[in-house]
Amino acid sequence: MTEPRTSGQVLAGRTVLVTGATSGIGLAVAQRLVAEGAHVFITGRRRAALDDAVAQLGASVTGIRADASDLDDLDRVFAAIEERGTGLDALHANAGGGEFAAIADLSPKSFDTTFATNVRGTVFTVQKALPLLRDGGAIVITGSTAASGGTPAFGVYAASKAAVHTFARTWAVELAGRGIRVNLVVPGPTETPGLAGLAPTPEGAPALLAQMASDVPLGRLIRPDEVADVVQFLISDSGRMITGTEIFIDGGETARRG
């Protein structure tokens, strides 16, 4: 187990992988980790968005185009990390997504795509990270408050996130012998392009976001940087005795559901 580091930047010298980091929560997390001294590998499926993110984040970032559900892509990601030669101190498995579809309208393709990204992608990202992840390292997984309730037409996404929650609790126990901590951040409705994209039309996005914000007791959507606050805490030495935990960043949404 490494000793706590004393640099003014709490993640100075560390190497972190953040998947799905071209926008929203992942991009905000990458920004925060770079600011705190880490070298951050980021992934995204779209080359243009990835290049834009790298340009925004600066020299302490390495971008790799990858689809989390594609095992060959994951192998390329971890080969690049291994080539850098510093190993991996932490992983934020953030890549994910979903769409509205009631059970009567659900297609096998939509089901398979959601589970491939959210479950298969997360499972094998974690598995392939383990040989490079140092003992005493940290894994943070992005969950969802959808896993804790019943949102109409959002069942497949919710089920995929419930699966990820279960895996994370299991891994926290499995990896404890190496001192690797595994935790979930569980955002409520967060002001991201992905959330706005759930609206059936761009014109309908403001009304959808306003409705979601009205369900949050604190009265607004969560900001991506507020999720980044918690991710930074969990992978830093401040979170060194926290594992197997779900931290809700939801403005009280889950409490309201009861």
Domain with residue 227: its CATH number is 3.40.50.720
In the chain, % of residues over pLDDT 90: 78
C-alpha to C-alpha distance for 159 and 77, rounded to whole angstroms? 27
Counting the structural domains of the chain, the total is 1
**Averaged pLDDT, 222-249:** 97
Residue 36 DSSP one-character state: T
**Residue 9 belongs to some domain of the structure:** no
Please list, in sequence order, all residues whose beta carbon lies within 8 angstroms of the beta carbon of residue 253, skipping any fewer than 6 positions away: 145, 188, 189, 215, 216, 217
Helix residue spans in the chain (DSSP H): 24-35, 47-57, 71-84, 108-115, 121-129, 155-174, 193-196, 205-214, 224-235, 253-257
Give the gyration radius of the chain's Cα atoms: 18
Using the predicted structure, report yes or no on whether residue 4 has a pLDDT greater than 60: no
The answer on pLDDT for 64 being more than 90 is yes
Q: Would you say residue 2 lies in a domain?
A: no
Query: What count of other Cβ atoms lies within 10 Å of the Cβ of residue 6?
Result: 8
pLDDT, position 258: 64
What is the domain range of residue 54? 15-187+222-249
Residue 5: pLDDT band by 50, 70, 90 thresholds?
very low
Q: Say what percent of the chain tops pLDDT 70.
A: 97
What does each C-alpha distance from 78 to 36, 42, 200, 208, 244 come to in angstroms?
23, 11, 36, 38, 25
Q: How far apart are CA 221 and CA 234, in angstroms?
A: 22
Tell me, yes or no, whether 135 lies in a domain: yes
Q: How many CB atoms lie within 10 A of CB 213?
A: 17
The predicted model gives 7-28 an average pLDDT of 93
Instruction: Identify the DSSP state of 94.
Output: -
Q: Which is more confidently placed, 247 or 204?
A: 247
Q: Is residue 210 part of a domain?
A: no
Residue 217 lies in a domain: no
pTM of the model: 0.92
**Position 1 in a domain:** no
Asked if residue 203 belongs to a domain, the reply is no
Active-site residues: which are they? Answer: 157
> How far is the C-alpha of 125 from the C-alpha of 132, rounded, in Å?
12
Judging by beta carbons within 10 Å of its beta carbon (0-12, 13-18, 19+), is residue 226 exposed, middle or buried? middle
Q: Would you place residue 55 in the very low, low, confident or very high pLDDT band (cuts 50, 70, 90)?
A: very high
DSSP state of 153: T
Mean pLDDT computed over 207-234: 93
Residue 101 has a pLDDT of 87
Q: Do the domain assignments include residue 206?
A: no
